[in-house]
Structure 1
């Protein structure tokens, strides 16, 4: 077995790994549930490589991600459900159907018009999918994946609801809702009711996700960037502690805050 640029070789390798006669014992033990988290992790690693603009890592991580649908399709084929050909047929069929302005006679004059047609076709597809499953009362929210990160899912839920007009009129209105939820967190904390604090912080985070959507900001991406910024600044704090010959745990909040303000000021310069 030799490497190849053809996807057919990847399919052959996966089939060999899953072959009960001479395959890999670990791969043979896996099922859809056991490798599910790898699929999610690989998608995040692709996103990380993109954010770092590391093309070498991106090439490698895309390969790792590509393995996941091949793996799932191989297991599905073994069980008689579908194979990778069915997966590829399904996505090509969907792309052709959702782009009548490219593959049909329905011209689109700009990106906004193309997006509108895409969304209209998706609504029709959701209704058809619900009908196949016997669901006579489909919801706009039905196919928002439960496994999405909570912040990203909150943003997607509010985006879906906004399609039927269930939305705040402007950014200021959502900002006021965030302030209201923050006040309710403080009220719940003052009451000593931990369950209420849990609920109100959830409402606050949901409102912040909605604020991000209204502002045209990817909430998940914004929080990732904030995490990176915090990490970089805290590294500066730790470095300054080492320079001054003091352990971070013994420096005290005032000194730590001073170091933090140094890097914060440098960022704004």
Structure 2
């Protein structure tokens, strides 16, 4: 990690790379999303691909850390320390004397500890679902927060029959499809990503000019 940070500091130096020197937290946002998405794809592509893509994600963490280091706001050590402290704090059944019966209790405790970290103040639903998530993933999270019942194939059929020919109608059908996916234990975001990737791979290669 220190070698990676040193490399980035060199790239950001006055005589370093012009492109790297121009980057900011804001300009790097699409790259962080892209690299995270590619790492998700690599899970099914084998260990070598996953290791490579996780390296690209780590690059983004280091990049942001070096930019913040230059501004004097935080450094990589703060990032690392913060996540270690959080993991220890939120796993009292491992690092403390709390007893849990199963994974369900772990989740309940995790949520309680998160709430305590905020001083007991609940967060708005809109603040609990990242806006940068894929649309299907956000709808899945929204349905869970709202306690929306899991739907079935019939719900999708009804949504299709009653939907107006508009963006709102399409959104309603997609929301019904997400509810159907939840009833099957299927992650709608991942399912559609894999479906789209299979279609793209099946397309013929462009003819060489």
Partners of 2:56 and 2:106 in 1: CA distance: 32
Counterpart for residue 142 of structure 1? 127
Partners of 1:18 and 1:179 in 2: CA distance: 55
Contact 2:156–2:176 (Cα < 8 Å) also in 1:
yes
1:28 paired residue among 11, 21, 27:
21
Counterpart for residue 44 of structure 1? 37
Deviation per CA, 1:151-184: give whole Å up to 9, x if none: 111111112222xxxx22x544xx4443332122
Tell me the secondary structure at the aligned position of residue 59 of structure 2. helix
TM-score, with structure 1 as normaliser: 0.69
Partners of 1:116 and 1:84 in 2: CA distance: 30
Counterpart for residue 157 of structure 2? 179
Partners of 1:231 and 1:28 in 2: CA distance: 35
Counterpart for residue 225 of structure 1? 194
Q: Structure 2: state its 5+ residue gaps.
A: none
Do structure 1's residue 19 and structure 2's residue 13 form an aligned pair? yes
Please provide the CA RMSD for this pair: 2.3
Counterpart for residue 59 of structure 1? 51
Do structure 1's residue 151 and structure 2's residue 136 form an aligned pair? yes
Q: State the aligned residue count.
A: 205
- Cα distance change of structure 1 residues 55 and 151 upon mapping to structure 2, 3 Å threshold: same
Structure with greater contact order relative to length (CA < 8 Å, sep ≥ 6): 2
TM-score, with structure 2 as normaliser: 0.87
Partners of 2:102 and 2:113 in 1: CA distance: 17
Counterpart for residue 257 of structure 1? none
Counterpart for residue 3 of structure 1? none
Counterpart for residue 73 of structure 1? 65
Larger radius of gyration: 1
Which of structure 1's runs of 4+ aligned residues deviate more than 6 A? Answer: none
Partners of 2:76 and 2:113 in 1: CA distance: 25
Deviation per CA, 1:223-267: give whole Å up to 9, x if none: 1232244446x55xx69xxxxxxxxxxxxxxxxxxxxxxxxxxxx
